[in-house]
Chain A
């Protein structure tokens, strides 16, 4: 028996979500008294890092079929390794690609799955229960997975990566060639910023900003905190900010440690995408803005006055810590 964690490698590094998934898988392996095996598909120069988070063994298959993503090709590979390693639990990150793999693998292996788990399973005898946030954060559903193989994709920022002493071995494996029916032409990612689903601090702004030319104060605050910037739906729809910055129900759902909402009234559709944030700060000139009800800290004031003051206070704090 084993716990297998499929780890995505991003060009030249592992993302934080990869280490979260390994930590999570390693904790499940401890619960089940078995070993944690990490699988990386494609070339990687950092395989050793996975042992730092509790992988006992790291398997790597480097082949051209893994140079671009096709859920079918990757599913065949992961399923084969899962069978060979006698995996009883398969863990993946709940990323764009991870979610496709979760669905495909569960059919291929006839295994129950929970997509977007946010805590460790509760294992008692043969009962295996995993929780995830549902109904826009209004409840947690605890799912029992009954099949011999269980598949879990882990929501980002649900568990902190934990370093342990590294006892891992690294093994290169060869998998059969499979052909893809998808031809990836181009991958465009924004350089230099942490993608929103992985960001620990997010600074987000809405219509209260009055126009795209005023975003300098939002960016200053974000850079003082090392935060990723986001926006509300009307702002993205008006093309004040790029589409990928839109958080909320139809945009990206996030759960950072800290979410600072500037000039966003807090419509329920916006809250649906952000109310799993651990701490929420709302800055709005309207004391009746519904967002204050969902906030931990609120500031009623003119954002053009408040935001630069907050940035100055953060910089001051950082200089003294």
Chain B
């Protein structure tokens, strides 16, 4: 089985977020970037586990500039076999999906994995877009995936529950919590990652349909009102009269 895992780079959750003074551009200076957790912990690790069971190959793919090679090497250190970076500074989900589709269309991957969303924009769109470009089934929010021959049984998270389905390879699946457990790269993995193939390919031209115009910052939260633990009646009054929450 051949697996493709699409990975992205996102600011760490704890990163301080700031913008240019006209609020037009995100200020990336000093921001700590990480491999998107859903891509790393669930999508990538499940692909590696399946390869370990069944044999095959795990390729990771990222659409981004050279700086992104740090997170690509991390994915290789965790256990991916080889990597592709599509050289581009993408600004929209569709642009990312299109680039990956151009690369993947003639490679006959059995399963294309990605995380359920990135933790910065939470769009959750790239998987569906990629599946549409490649005319493949798409299963979102997979929390469990078992392969039996060419057929996969997948559990996916839906509002307030789970859906269980069967689908034959090839398909695209987005991974949620539950699909695998995080793996920490070991020293051997880190050393081996340096020698694994990281291919850089040029991006295809693409017409951008959606673009960030500017950002707004949320209103400063007024400071917390502390309520006496023996006066819950006062809390209820505030929730009703002031917050209008009940």
Query: Which chain B residues (14-37) contact chain A, with CB distance < 8 Å?
Result: 14, 17, 19, 37
Whether a CB of chain A sits under 8 angstroms from the CB of B240 is yes
- Measured in the bound complex, the distance between the Cα atoms of B163 and A97 in whole Å is 11
Contact among B226, B227, B245 for A257, CB-based, below 8 A: B245
Secondary structure of the A side of the interface? mixed
Question: Quick check: B160 and A244 within 8 Å, CB to CB?
Answer: yes
B75 shortest CB reach to chain A, Å: 18
Q: Mark B221-234, 1 if CB is under 8 A from A, else 0.
A: 11011111110110
Contact of B122 among A113, A139, A250, A253 (CB under 8 A): A253
A 161-214 contacts with B by CB, 8 A: 181-190, 193-198, 201
A272 contacts the other chain (Cβ, under 8 Å)? yes
Count of CB-CB pairs between chains A and B under 8 Å: 268
Q: A238 on the interface (CB 8 Å rule)?
A: no
B37-A250 in contact (CB<8A): yes
Also in contact, A185 and B165, with CB within 8 A (given A251-B177, A309-B232): yes
Question: Which residues of chain A have C-beta atoms less than 8 A from B123's C-beta?
Answer: 115-116
Chain A neighbourhood of B214, CB < 8 A:
142
Which of A15, A101, A253, A310 has the most CB atoms of chain B within a 10 A radius of its CB? A310
Stretch at the interface among A38-46, A53-61, A70-78: A70-78
Q: How far is the CA of A62 from the CA of B163 in the complex (A)?
A: 22
Given contacts A249-B119, A251-B177, A313-B235, contact A139 B97 (CB under 8 A): no
Chain A contacts for B140, CB-based, 8 A: 71, 96-97, 99-100
- B125 near A103 with CB under 8 A, answer yes
Q: What's the least CB distance linking B205 to chain A, in Å?
A: 15
Closest to B178 in A: A243
Q: What CA separation (Å) do A282 and B140 show in the bound complex? A: 33
Q: In the bound complex, what is the Cα–Cα distance between A11 and B233 (angstroms)? A: 40
B197: A residues at CB distance < 8 A: none
Contact (A113, B160) CB under 8 Å given A135-B120, A299-B229? no
- A103 near B124: Cβ-Cβ < 8 Å: yes
Distance in angstroms between the alpha carbons of A282 and B229 in the assembled complex: 11
Beta-carbon contacts of B163-206 to A below 8 Å, as 1s and 0s? Answer: 11111100100000110000000000000000000000000000
**Chain A residues, Cβ within 8 Å of B122:** 115-116, 134, 253
Contact of A107 with B129 at beta-carbon distance under 8 Å, contacts A184-B164, A310-B235 already known: yes
Q: In whole angstroms, what is the CA distance A296 to B227 when docked?
A: 11
**Measured CA separation A95–B128 after assembly (Å):** 14
Question: Does A69 lie within 8 Å of B163, measured CB to CB?
Answer: yes
A287 to B168, CA, bound (A): 53
- Are B131 and A104 touching (Cβ within 8 A)? yes
* One of B137, B167, B240 near A317 (C-beta < 8 A): B240
| Most chain B CB inside 10 Å of its own CB: which residue of A99, A143, A316 | A99
Q: Which residue of B lies closest to A187 (CB)?
A: B163
A-B contact pairs, 13 of them (CB 8 A): A15-B159, A70-B137, A95-B159, A104-B138, A131-B216, A135-B17, A139-B17, A140-B218, A142-B215, A189-B161, A268-B14, A297-B239, A300-B229
Seen from chain A, the residues whose Cβ lies within 8 Å of a Cβ on chain B are: 15, 69-72, 75, 95-97, 99-104, 106-108, 110-116, 129, 131-132, 134-147, 181-190, 193-198, 201, 225, 243-244, 246, 249-251, 253, 257-258, 268-269, 272, 278-279, 281-282, 292-302, 305-306, 309-310, 312-314, 316-317, 321
The 7 closest A-B pairs by CB, nearest first: A103-B128, A301-B229, A112-B209, A195-B160, A189-B161, A112-B210, A103-B125
Q: Contact residues of B with A, CB < 8 Å? A: 11, 13-14, 17, 19, 37-38, 41, 92-94, 97, 119-129, 131-133, 137-141, 143, 153, 156-168, 171, 177-178, 208-218, 221-222, 224-230, 232-233, 235-236, 238-240, 243, 245-246
